[in-house]
Amino acid sequence: MADKRRFDLFADLLVERFPSASRIFDVAGGQGRLNEALTQRGRTVTTFDLRHKHLPVRHYAQRIFTLDEPCEAELVVGMHPDGATRVIIEYAARHQLPFAVVPCCSDNGMPYNPWMRHLQELARTSGFPHVEERTLSMDGRARVVLGAFVA
Ligand SMILES: C[S@@+](CC[C@H](N)C(=O)[O-])C[C@H]1O[C@@H](n2cnc3c(N)ncnc32)[C@H](O)[C@@H]1O
């Protein structure tokens, strides 16, 4: 069972690290709990996921997030986004946006630590000059990979 605190902890980190990002894409956002947490912090958030049953958040795009999604955000994020992890980084790179992901499972069976290294390397080779890692104070997969074009 994933830690229920993860949405507030991640939302706090995002607001602290990216204070000027007011429009946020929350990719693979499940029920929309991160959307709710970020909305409470004054952000405008669109969640992308396939869930029929979700919270009554203002913007919920019930579809798979792809590189073709029109860019209406200043930050792209994902909490435990499974198969959407790489596309978050690639999309952010394409649109020169910052990103933050809290990876869990890889999309190809790669163990966790190599997966984390792979994602950081993907960010660097995609053009991000600033790639950093933080850790949320919670149980379970808590390491965050962040990328930005300005420090
Ligand atoms: C482990 S769940 C995490 C959900 C939520 N972020 C949370 O922490 O509870 C992974 C979610 O990723 C979604 N997902 C995977 N690939 C996706 C994609 N390309 N676009 C949108 N959602 C995706 C799945 O539908 C699923 O809801």
pLDDT digits (tens, 9 = 90+) for 46-91: 999 999 999 999 999 999 999 999 999 999 999 999 999 999 999 9
Nearest atom in ligand 1 to 48's CA: 21
Q: How confident is the model at residue 151 (pLDDT cuts 50, 70, 90)?
A: confident
Domains identified in the chain and CATH numbers: 6-148 (3.40.50.150)
Q: How far is the CA of 31 from the centre of ligand 1 (A)?
A: 9
pLDDT above 80: residue 1: no
pLDDT digits (tens, 9 = 90+) for 97-127: 999 999 998 888 999 999 999 999 999 999 9
CA dihedral 24, 29, 33, 38 (to 10 degrees): -10
pTM: 0.97
Q: How far apart are the first and last CA of the chain?
A: 34
Q: How far is the CA of 85 from the centre of ligand 1 (A)?
A: 9
| Pocket perturbation via mutation, ligand 1, pick of 45, 63, 79, 82 by most ligand atoms within 8 A of CB | 82
Burial of 36 (0-12, 13-18, 19+ CB in 10 A): buried
Q: How far is the CA of 49 from the centre of ligand 1 (A)?
A: 6
Q: How far is the CA of 130 from the centre of ligand 1 (A)?
A: 26
